Amino acid sequence: MKQEQLFRSRAPIRVDLAGGWTDVPFFAAERGGAVVNATINRYTYATLAPRADEKIEITSADFQQFLSVQNFRELEYDGNLDLIKAAISRLGIQRGMNLFVRCDAPPGSGTGSSASIGVALIGLLNLLQDNRLSAYEVARLANLLETEELHIAGGKQDQYAAAIGGFNYMEFKDPSVNVSPLHLDTSVVVELEKHLVLCYTGKSRLSGNLITRVQEAYLAGRAETVGALERMRDVAVEMKSALLKGQIGEFGRLLQANWECQKQLDASITTDQIDHLFEVAGAAGAVGGKALGAGGGGCVLFLASPDREHDVRTALEEAGVQVLDFNFEFGGLRVWNSWNGARVVD
């Protein structure tokens, strides 16, 4: 029986720890941005099976969406699986295929899931074409899927996190990006894994023009906006130092400091629910926290004081949110070939 060759890829999601928003071009180009983030063991998986004809069939397990077109010329951006279409278009794929995509992250979680999908797709299609793009090149192309193909405003940290993996300190001076891996002592990593508590509040309900509002406030010279962005950039620099020195308490303080600045950017970044979760978690022993991504819902990350993580978890669950277990992931994009399920690492 003829074996079917499959192409597969995997890319992690991330938790943004400090400096988010300063990677957005309107700020990074003028003042330079800095971010600290880390990838975790939740992933986007993508599988591609070549077809003998030109038909393209796409399945998204997360959104329970299916698309079938006769050939690549019929792909159009219409709000249905557009990110996947953008990857096919950007890489100039003109052949038939069956494409399956799923992501471990809940929708609207603020964990960079769309960037993880973009990176997994670029890696997958790159493998199909037998190209040898670097992680930086994959990240750059994945970012262009959103910013150029789909005209979605946003920063760049998510794509570089998904492509490279691990703990990273990133510097942005648009259009350039510099990623410095943070080689933390194992004791620091496991201490963070023990005491960090990640919860999911439900899909973020931020309005689509949030970035536009923050950009307009920044360009108008609103002192609170400019000051908050500059402080978040500085917090990222301080957090890099705290992590490398193993200063977990200082890390928690900086996590909270970043959140206080983040809330100054727009009223919609926090919600009554999120404020309540901070009260509940704080009473149970949390020493700092922040909403991931832009905020407005999605995931919130808390650092518990020593041996209080169970109390924080219990309090959050009793408040009605889902606690998500995780460990840190030190690999980025992975691609491989599979024949009838037999894995062969590329």
DSSP calls for 134-190 = -HHHHHHHHHHIIIIIS-----SHHHHHHHH-SEEEEEEETTEEEEEE----HHHHH
CA separation for the pair 103, 13 (Å, rounded): 9
State residue 248's pLDDT score: 98
Enumerate the CATH 3.30.70.890 domain ranges in the chain, comma separated: 186-324
CA separation for the pair 59, 41 (Å, rounded): 23
User: In whole angstroms, how far apart are CA 142 and each of 55, 84, 162, 326, 346?
Assistant: 24, 11, 10, 25, 20
Closest CA relative to residue 111, chosen from 199, 186, 23, 175? 199
| 3 state SS of 335 | strand
Catalytic residue among 16, 104, 158, 234: 158
Which residues is 33 bridged to in the sheet? 172
Q: Could you tell me the pTM of the whole model? A: 0.94
**Under 8 Å between Cβ of 290 and 256:** yes
* Class (C level, CATH) for 5-183+329-345: alpha beta
Token representation of residue 215:
């950009």
Enumerate the CATH 3.30.230.10 domain ranges in the chain, comma separated: 5-183+329-345
CA separation for the pair 281, 262 (Å, rounded): 19
Q: What is the pLDDT along the chain (346 residues), one digit of tens a residue?
A: 456 789 999 999 999 999 999 999 999 999 999 999 999 999 999 999 999 999 999 999 988 899 999 999 999 999 999 999 999 999 999 999 999 999 999 878 999 999 999 999 999 999 999 888 999 999 999 999 999 999 998 999 999 999 999 999 999 999 999 999 999 999 999 999 999 999 999 888 776 688 889 999 999 999 999 999 999 999 999 999 999 999 999 999 999 999 999 999 999 999 999 999 999 999 999 999 999 999 999 999 999 999 999 999 999 999 999 999 999 999 999 999 986 444 433 3
Inter-axis angle of helices 272-284 and 309-318, nearest 10? 140
**Under 8 Å between Cβ of 185 and 191:** no
Is residue 234 among the annotated active site residues? no
Which residues is 48 bridged to in the sheet? 7, 99
User: In whole angstroms, how far apart are CA 297 and each of 70, 269, 275, 283?
Assistant: 39, 8, 11, 21
Q: β-strand 56-60 against 97-103: which pairing, if any?
A: parallel
| 3 state SS of 86 | helix
Q: β-strand 33-50 against 5-18: which pairing, if any?
A: antiparallel
- Which fold is adopted by the domain 186-324? Alpha-Beta Plaits (3.30.70)
